[in-house]
Structure 1
């Protein structure tokens, strides 16, 4: 009887040891940490205006000097997917940018909404047409921002959460383009510049509200760009340029000194 009891104790000890070594006794294995980074969005995220474009990205014009590339190079995430694309609207994000998102995605960045509101066409109108036409185009953009954009952002943000449920999402806004009463002596009127800035504020307000509603962080870059707007004398933003698609976009310094610190503080 004594030998049988000793044998049972030894067997139980051996089984416990095996379970401990293999983890078979645990209720469930700890999941791997979600540490991949995916950069979504439009030209402000792809880096249009900063040069050094990846030729493989084609018309998306993804730059090695864009804030997502700079952050990834400095922090070496376990994986990095850069799908932001020049000209992207909310529908383009949904249709072509979300593929890399999965359960291992721990960080997502995105700037989106400016093209939905007609940012490019509106600025072209302001640069090439009369003050009244510029103000009318800005009023149209403002109406879209207040009535329609929020719902489109909700659809994108919900899709991100569904595909990458563990991800921390940082939504980046847009800077004010002009320093008022600045150094520019030609070009748009002060009323046009003021209205452009007010429209950017309205855009950022809706983006910030919808990001908060989804539990995302909002990166407000307006303070970072203060003193570095067009007409400031130390601009981190292009005015009208050739090629024209780089107009009204951050320079390389705007990416590294404007967008990157704001994103880094929230990532």
Structure 2
């Protein structure tokens, strides 16, 4: 009986091993073709180290798309996200990198359309009242006009890559309210800026869901890592102005990368 038992057990182990192998890890997607679209939050603006050939797009190997590609070695990787990009820029300058062979797409977009960078400048330079007006204008744009612009981008992605997995990333809260910052803008302004992020994220999540795309909400993972916290994953005002109010290298590695990876 013993030889038959050993043979049966061996067969079972082989069958299980074969099943596990065939069930294979999600890394099977890594054999596909990945395209990273979007704005500065996807290009890596704020990490302080940029690819020279990318010019003013400020793409970084420390950005979450490059980190993911380095870890998973997809068959192809098109990194076309660009600092300052709007929805129109994605459509006119980036979508051409997406095609029917594309299997994975990441994108963050919408903040520049809503004038968030301009609102931040107003908040820093012109005081609380002007800040609240600028932030409210951004929120109004986000709720009234941004949905249609996002729909155009998402439809463009789907039309060009019908079978691709698409992950849309949102924006974090910038400030820890009641945190360690003694100077700078008021907590009233900081609250308003965080509220604008909530509004924009809500719009993006809704339109991404309507398109059948996955939404990566980074607000939770950035909690206690905002500006004025004890462990910043975001830049405050910097001498290199364009890096201000963007995730640093740690923010990409510990915030954006795991959020994207969980949905890729």
In structure 1, what is the equivalent of residue 141 of structure 2?
144
In structure 1, what is the equivalent of residue 76 of structure 2?
79
Aligned-pair CA distance for 1:34: 8.1
In structure 2, what is the equivalent of residue 201 of structure 1?
198
Residue in structure 1 matching 2:236, options 229, 239, 242: 239
Q: Please, what TM-score do these two structures have when normalized by structure 1?
A: 0.87
Which ranges in structure 2 are unaligned for 5 or more consecutive residues?
Answer: 1-29
Contact 2:38–2:81 (CA<8 Å) still a contact in 1?
A: yes
CA distance in 2, matches of 1:243, 1:189: 23
* Residue aligned with 1:218, SS: strand
Which ranges in structure 1 are unaligned for 5 or more consecutive residues?
Answer: 1-32
CA distance in 1, matches of 2:100, 2:75: 13
In structure 1, what is the equivalent of residue 22 of structure 2?
none
CA distance in 1, matches of 2:160, 2:251: 31
CA distance in 1, matches of 2:249, 2:108: 17
Aligned-pair CA distance for 1:216: 0.0
Moved over 3 A (4+): none
Alignment of 1:210 onto 2:207: yes
Aligned-pair CA distance for 1:51: 2.1
Residues 11-65 of structure 1 show CA distances to partners (whole Å, capped at 9, x for unaligned) of xxxxxxxxxxxxxxxxxxxxxx981000000000000001220000000000010
CA distance in 2, matches of 1:105, 1:60: 22
Alignment of 1:131 onto 2:122: no
Aligned pairs, how many?
235
Higher alpha-carbon Rg: 1
* Residue aligned with 2:220, SS: helix
CA distance in 1, matches of 2:221, 2:203: 19
RMSD: 1.0
CA distance in 2, matches of 1:34, 1:205: 32
In structure 2, what is the equivalent of residue 186 of structure 1?
183
CA distance in 2, matches of 1:58, 1:250: 19
* Residue aligned with 1:170, SS: strand
Residue in structure 1 matching 2:96, options 69, 94, 99: 99
